[in-house]
A = this chain, B = another copy of it.
Amino acid sequence: MKIVIIGGVAAGTSAAAKARRNNEEAEIKIFDADSHISYSACGLPYYVGTEIEDMGELTPRDPNFFKKKYNVDVFTRHQVLKADACAKLVTVMNLDTREVFEERYDKLVIATGAKSAVPHIDGADKENVFSLRNVQSADRIREYVIYKEPKSAVIIGTGFIGLEMAENLKARGLDITMVEMAPQVMPALDSDIAVYLADYLNEKGIKLFLGDTVVRLEGEASVTQAVLTSGEKIDADIVIMSAGVRPNVELARSMGVEIGESGAIKVNTRMQTNIEDVYACGDCAESYSLITGKPLYRPLGSTANKMGRIAGDQITGGSLEFRGILGTGIFKIFDMTVAQTGLTEKEAVKEGFEIAVCHNIKPDKPEYYHGKEMVIKAVADKKSGRVLGAQIIGKAGVDKRIDVLATAITFGAKAQDLFHLDLAYAPPFSTTKDPVIYTGMILDNAINRGRELITPDELKARIESGEEINIIDARAASQFEQSHLEGAQNIPHEKLRASIGTLDKEKTTVTYCNKGVTGNAAQNILINNGFKKVFNLSGGHKNYMKNK
């Protein structure tokens, strides 16, 4: 039994280790064109920013480790030039000696990963334009930053890596400008959550150009200025390309392996490709959504590890199968955390779900215990009640809530299930009702109890369409005077009962407060007094002002 694995980062090494755990006899070889294996690609931005000082911390395992621990032969700087599925052979070149040889396999695992998507920009070949993808590129950026002491950076793209690089370069004192083609930061998020992040980035002194692109990188050998489609010119001593990644599928395609609609290698739940005895896993392979069952390409270390383990199990007779992903992602920028899982509002709408949406603004802990506010946007299916996804931004406890929600969604949780979760409560960790529980209560009230929410976008659309809406600001007069929605009348919550007679019960009514709780209380009073159609403004005045 000969197992050949192409690629030795997350998925490839996971496959090898699992195969060996199952089977002592198999001969297992890993070929990787790179000189580093099994490294933590997700740690690279922190190495560039010198938060992690030693690359050795990110590359704890070398070929010697795999030989000693797993009896796996790892060949670094060995590029697989081609693979022949009929003869079951791969052709390998030793990049140091240029020697070319053939290797027979019984099972082939393709774990070739992904590469940075480099947009075609005039001047992108200059010496100070970088992509972050592997150890070498991290070293190059770090060296450039340390020795050339650039003062300004232009980062192209506002995904995970772009934002993590922004943090790390900013921490080293560089002026940061981010250019994003989409009209919002982090295009994977809904725009009404992305605005919270954009405001925070501005607050941190990061300049943003949204809905814009770099058309030209000017300078001699080095870029000195980036020119945008909008005509804007930005000084740049270093340029980071972080416009996403693309799966490395050339080798797979050349041997006849089917490519999925996402552009990554199509695999079944056993990590099998269309060719017998050829498996694929990790960032080169296509995943699928646990919610919709449809193909989904979200190259992440956590998923690569799972896929690798499954491939390793399958090729040694195991029965482990992939169950799909929620596309759960998280990142930190300075002291802000942004996370998401499952479907965004725009994805859910695109999938045809009739949805309820809430913006739940709550502290992670009691205020008396220094709680910090987070915004949880959650989306649920109105028909089934099922929670479809969540996006969270906040300074503390975001990772916990996204993981609880991801777990609940995995098990098909409905909005009304969240209230019943017996989550751990003590003041240093949570509020008595955890923000996740509140999220469930709000969605349940909206879906099953007639306490409907309206998002800022929906409210604006209704007003624009000419609908007459009675907008009631249920906050104190002093708050109303500072700022309020156009056309709103101020009836503080405690005076609402006495003012019922002055209001038209037949008219569509929207209530709001600062963040939503008192708006809901006002909504309850109106509904219980026979008002026909009352919405509470999701996330209240605060969320509206972010999204006006």
Instruction: Enumerate chain A interface residues (CB-CB to B < 8 A).
Output: 10, 20-24, 40, 42-43, 46, 52, 57-58, 68-71, 160, 164, 290, 300-303, 305-306, 309, 320, 322-323, 325-332, 337, 339, 341, 366-369, 399-400, 402-404, 406-408, 410-413, 417, 419-430, 432-434, 493-494, 497, 518, 521, 524-525, 528-529
Contacts and interface: CB of A to CB of B under 8 A. Distances in A.
A406 B427 contact: no
A21 B290 CA distance: 36
Given A327-B422, A366-B40, A410-B421, A428 B528 contact: no
Nearest to A57: B368
Contact of A330 (B20, B332, B429): B429
Given A70-B521, A328-B424, A410-B421, 11 more contacts: A23-B528, A24-B528, A24-B529, A160-B426, A322-B420, A330-B425, A330-B429, A339-B424, A402-B424, A404-B404, A406-B421
Contact of A420 (B22, B306, B400, B434): B306
Nearest to A10: B432
Given A306-B420, A406-B421, A399 B400 contact: yes
Contacts of A326: 422
Contact of A422 (B366, B406, B420): B406
Contacts of A320: 419
A422 B497 contact: no
Given A368-B52, A404-B404, A432-B40, A420 B424 contact: no
Contacts of A290: 422
A423 B408 CA distance: 11
A302 B433 contact: yes
A428 B302 contact: no
A368 B58 contact: yes
B406 A408 contact: no
A57 B423 CA distance: 23
A331 B412 CA distance: 30
A302 B369 contact: no
Nearest to A320: B419
6 contacts: A20-B524, A332-B429, A337-B428, A407-B407, A407-B423, A410-B420
A288 to B, nearest CB: 12
Contact of A413 (B305, B399, B411): B411
Contact of A46 (B306, B331, B369, B518): B369
Contacts of A21: 521, 524
Contact of A427 (B23, B42, B309, B426): B42
Contact of A43 (B325, B327, B366, B404): B366
Pairs A-B, 4 closest by C-beta atoms: A411-B411, A57-B368, A330-B424, A302-B425
